[in-house]
Amino acid sequence: MRAFIVAVCCLILAACGTSSDSQDVDTGTTAITSGGGKLTLGVNSYLWQASLSTLSFMPLASEDPFGGVIITDWYANPQAPGERMKVTVYIISRQLRADGLKLAVFRQTRNADGSWSESQVNQDVATKLEDEILTRARELRLASGGAGG
């Protein structure tokens, strides 16, 4: 009976804990602790934050930090109103690695009647965005005190 009371007291005390976030500096994995439970994001938080930062000029349509997917809405550059772009970012790793990030870039051009049609995307666009995200993620890791690499 005494062990049962001790166990119940431990559970009550654990439930009284406050929410807190902790980050593993080596992998960038973020764990969110709340109400005695611990929930770990499924992706590298440096890549996640760097992706959001890099794409901040585009409106967001959807973001899923647990699944590692960021979907922007269509963005038209004011200097090129006849075309618009949309980006989907897939963060597929908890490690800060170049192969832990995949991008899909979509481009549409405006037809004479005002409708939009799919157009070819220069592959350099996705590559440059990936490079920007990876560079920003490394900067975030170094700023947080993580090891280089």
**What's the rounded mean pLDDT across residues 118-139?**
95
* Model confidence at 101: pLDDT above 70: yes
Helix axes 45-54, 123-143, angle to 10 degrees: 120
Q: Determine the Cα–Cα distance for residues 20 and 18; give it in Å rounded to an integer.
A: 6
pLDDT of residue 124: 95
| pTM (2 d.p.) | 0.72
* Model confidence at 22: pLDDT above 80: no
Domains of the chain are 45-143 (3.30.530)
Is 90:58 a contact under the CB 8 Å cutoff?
A: no
pLDDT of residue 8: 42
Task: Give the DSSP letter of residue 72.
Answer: E
